Amino acid sequence: MTERPHIAVIGAGPAGLAATLAAARHGLRVTLIDAAPEAGGQFYRQPAAGLGARRPQALHHQWRSWQRLREGLDRHIATGHVHHLRDHHVWFVERRPEGFTVHALLGPEQERPVEVRAAAGVLLATGGYEKVLPFPGWTLPGVVTAGGAQAMLKGGLVLPGRTAVVAGTGPLLLPVAAGLAAAGARVAALVESADPRSFVRRFPALAARPAKLAEGAGYAARLVRHRVRTLVHHTVVEAHGDQRLEAVTVAALDAEGRVRPRTRRRIDCDTLAVGHGMLPHTDLALGIGCRVDGVAVHVDDEQRTDVPGVWAAGEATGIGGAVLALAEGHIAGRSAAARLSGAAPDPNGWAGAAGARAELRRFFATLDEAYAPPAHWAEQVTDDTVVCRCEEVTGGTIRRAVTELGAADVRTVKLLTRAGMGWCQGRVCGPAVAGLAGCPETAARRPFARPVPLGVLARAGRDDPEADPDGDPDPEAEADAVDVDVDVDHQ
Amino acid sequence: MMGAACALYASRAGLDVVVVDRGPVAGGTTGAGEGNLLVSDKEPGPELELALLSARLWTDLAGELGGRIEYEPKGGLVVAAEPEGLAALEVFAAGQRAAGVTASGVAADQLDELEPYLAPGLAGGVFYPQDTQVMPTLAAAHLVRASGARLATGRTVTEVLRGADGAVRGVRTDRGEIHAPAVVNAAGTWGGELAALAGAHLPVLPRRGFVLVTEPLPRRVRHKVYAADYVADVASDSAALQTSPVVEGTAAGPVLIGASRERVGFDRSFSLPVLRALAAGATRLFPFLAEVRAMRSYLGFRPYLPDHLPAIGPDPRVPGLFHACGHEGAGIGLATGTGQLIAQVLSGADPALDLTPFRPERFAEEAA
């Protein structure tokens, strides 16, 4: 039997799993590389086994499609066509003459290097991350991201607090509020900045996905059942507390997206779950040299990036939720299977997924217009509000870099103020800095998708990875080049 | 940086200055540099004279702006691994000393006192107390601000305007004309393109360099520390990749690691082999760095002229056009001296240094 062509799929969320199953079913050997201990990604985040959750499905919808993916993955692992690398934190994908090398770090401290070598193709299913815009008090303990609150619910089964306010904008807020209420928290308010009239205006486009609307209506009904007060076209203007969060002040917005005078009110709470939508993870794509449009990886109808041999699917190519990610992942896996085997792909084979993709992209584009942070959110950021938490850079410092020192873009603001130079490399504060500087959000170039020890970098991709750069053997620091063939030779 | 320094000294000479940039402040090579003000890597000659003049002017500026531009006279330590390398380094340093550089030999057993975390077994080194660092983006921004010049960012020069007699009378930009009897070309790596707009040949080429930046650390690397072979790389004409370890701590905490040189045009793609070589070189000099994480890396394009000297002064081919570009990897350090020389020739004074070695038309002569 001839050797199956090898593809590395990065990310085991909905997109990566769908891609893996499609690619393996249609003739590829897949190395599925993921940072989590279990497959599922953020969407199908699994409770840690030790917690003994009896009914994890109570926290998830689409449990059945998850079970199908999980069973498919197990089946392909058993036949040896898929090799699943868990707890692998990818920091760089390198293009080499013999194929792609995926560089990852392993272990609790992310210090042990692992390389997946000579992949004919790479499929990026790196997902997205939450966008949070700053406001006075947002750094107080007790303020968490909406996604973080959901991850705690899904993964750790712990309640983040007793009295919660859920705030910001976006489709994530409803399930977070409903999940918190169902888990026993008192949700004092759901504060959504979007204007309900903008949904009414866009109703024809939204009604094209009745299932999605029904899903939203279902959450809304649960919120009513739990007596959660919903404040639409409102925003949190400040979080209060001495050592930790004690209350928030919310206010109504006017038609221009400014806070309306005399509408402020205080709501006591010990937890604020706040989120302003999602952003694609594009670091690895930019590192390979893929084109990125705005903040999302550019792909064609087959989910191919503009770099030969590199596909992308799911949130990395634009935020659109798990069902869209499944469709894109499936198409990417099918296209890669055909092209890496030297065959012409047959789009008729994935016509169903392509139809769902088109419809969902339209739906989410509309949703994205409707769910927007208040147009003038930056006005609420006082000069002493910390905007970059890693480097403790305030709103006033950023404003002065623009007005006094000639900065006009995020990069120059960063160089002049250190905003975005810290541990998170601007992933948290990037959108806020862009907003304060009055320039568009763009995807920042970060060559390393995560920090990498210099000792690892010094040996990365070498043919003699065990050797010390000086030539002296160094048994402490061996790079572990994964020979995937050993594990999947049973074909 | 070069434009900012020219603006500062020209304004102080009484001229009315407009700074035009197609990007933001420090958007070109300045924002991609380490901010070195070095004398240690320069052999005796016109560039070293310019470096010494510049160092004096930076010291004066530090009195005004020091903290805001992170001016840090930390000194440079050049180390040699082998006795032969050390002997060559000492000969080089003796020549520099004769030209006015302060340089003191450091024996192998004294290296520890200067840099306790340095790798053991090195042959020795030379210490250069005049080597200094600034944060280059802050320096450029604060010099422009201190100059009081009008700052026109986000404006691309599309044409150098010339009168019937051929003399410069300003520039046309994508957002209107700016009239002036003198135009200073401080476009760095893009200085050749700007010269071409005025009809002058100036062969500035990009020489790519990467810098690795670590997580913030307590101060463990006290000086700018580099290996003796760095000097040879700086002076080299090769287009191929050269890396020699240059390691330094910064006021803000991260350690900066250079230096790579390669002529690959304006290729902005990240090169793992280059970053790997930088990491290997740095961990050889400072073994503790093997456990330290690289947070990011950036790249820039040094403005390189074939004889490694900048173009400074009036262009006799185009009356009213002045050049202040082509300083390769030393532009931050050489900016103050260059700015002062340009201000002197703009205002009709005698320049403090002989500009003959820097004359911008020298390449055209060679071509002819």
- Host domain of residue A168: 132-276
Strand partners, A386: A394
Q: Is the pLDDT of residue A481 over 60?
A: no
Instruction: Inspect the interface and report whether the beta carbons of B25 and A406 lie closer than 8 Å.
Output: yes
Q: Is the pLDDT of residue B312 over 50?
A: yes
Q: Last residue of a domain, which of B304, B320, B340?
A: B304
Q: Which residue has the higher pLDDT, A134 or A421?
A: A134
Instruction: Inspect the interface and report whether the beta carbons of A412 and B212 lie closer than 8 Å.
Output: no
Q: Which two tokens stand for residue B335?
A: 């900016």
Residues from chain A that touch B291, judged by Cβ atoms under 8 A, are 453-455
Number of folded domains that form chain A: 3
CATH number at residue B24: 3.50.50.60
Number of folded domains that form chain B: 2
Q: Is the pLDDT of residue B367 over 60?
A: no
Q: Is the pLDDT of residue B368 over 60?
A: no
Residues from chain B that touch A458, judged by Cβ atoms under 8 A, are 276, 279-280, 283, 290
CATH number at residue A433: 1.10.10.1100
B229-286 pLDDT tens trace: 766 666 666 767 788 889 999 878 899 998 888 888 888 888 899 999 999 999 999 9
Q: Are A153 and A222 in contact (CB under 8 A)?
A: no
Residues A144 and A271 occupy one common structural domain: yes
Q: Is the pLDDT of residue A59 over 60?
A: no
pTM for the predicted model, two decimal places: 0.87
Mean pLDDT of B304-321: 95
Residues B151 and B64 occupy one common structural domain: yes
Instruction: Give the pLDDT confidence score for residue A43 in this predicted structure.
Output: 74
Q: Which two tokens stand for residue B184?
A: 């200073």
- Host domain of residue B141: 2-68+135-204+307-367
Per-window interface: A 353-412 vs B, CB < 8 A? 401, 404-409, 411-412
Say how far apart CA B357 and CA B351 lie, in whole Å: 13
* DSSP code for A255: T
Interface test with B, best of A105, A286, A457, A476 (most B CBs within 10 A): A457
Instruction: Give the pLDDT confidence score for residue B304 in this predicted structure.
Output: 92
Instruction: Give the pLDDT confidence score for residue A462 in this predicted structure.
Output: 78
Q: Which two tokens stand for residue B56?
A: 């004096």
Q: Which residue has the higher pLDDT, A214 or B313?
A: B313
A460 vs B: CB within 8 A: yes
The strand pair at A121-124 and A6-10 is best described as parallel
ipTM, two decimals: 0.90
Mean pLDDT of A303-331: 95
Residues from chain A that touch B289, judged by Cβ atoms under 8 A, are 454-455
B81-109 pLDDT tens trace: 889 889 999 999 999 999 999 999 999 99
Residue with tokens 């191919």: A304
Residues A307 and A432 occupy one common structural domain: no
Phi/psi of residue A236, each to 5°?
A: -80, 125
Residues B210 and B272 occupy one common structural domain: yes
Instruction: Give the pLDDT confidence score for residue A470 in this predicted structure.
Output: 39
Q: Are B149 and B11 in contact (CB under 8 A)?
A: yes
Please tell me which residue of chain A has the smallest CA distance to B216.
Answer: A422
Instruction: Give the pLDDT confidence score for residue A64 in this predicted structure.
Output: 80
Q: Which two tokens stand for residue A380?
A: 């609420």
Residues B177 and B234 occupy one common structural domain: no
Q: Which two tokens stand for residue A279?
A: 């952003």
Per-window interface: B 53-112 vs A, CB < 8 A? none
Q: Is there a domain that residue A161 lies in?
A: yes
Residues from chain A that touch B276, judged by Cβ atoms under 8 A, are 457-462
Q: Which two tokens stand for residue A438?
A: 């009055």
Say how far apart CA A256 and CA A324 lie, in whole Å: 32
The strand pair at B104-107 and A480-482 is best described as unpaired
Beta-sheet strands, E only, within A289-390: 292-293, 296-297, 310-312, 386-388
CATH number at residue A186: 3.50.50.60
Residue B254's nearest CA partner among B286, B295, B284 is B295
Q: Are A43 and A322 in contact (CB under 8 A)?
A: yes
**Angle at which helices B136-147 and B2-12 pack, to 10 degrees?**
30
Q: Are B128 and B92 in contact (CB under 8 A)?
A: no
CA dihedral A118, A122, A125, A130 (to 10 degrees): 80
Residues from chain A that touch B270, judged by Cβ atoms under 8 A, are 287, 447
Q: 3-state class of A13 per DSSP?
A: coil
A223-248 pLDDT tens trace: 777 788 899 999 999 999 999 999 99
B42-85 pLDDT tens trace: 999 999 999 999 999 999 999 998 789 999 999 999 999 889 88
A448 vs B: CB within 8 A: yes
Q: Is there a domain that residue A37 lies in?
A: yes
Task: Write the residue in A412, A425, A477 that is nearest to B26 by C-beta.
Answer: A412
Residues B214 and B117 occupy one common structural domain: yes
Q: Which residue has the higher pLDDT, A44 or A242?
A: A242
Q: Last residue of a domain, which of B304, B322, B338?
A: B304
Residue B350 buriedness (CB in 10 A; 0-12 / 13-18 / 19+): exposed
Residues A99 and A157 occupy one common structural domain: no
Q: Is the pLDDT of residue A445 over 90?
A: no
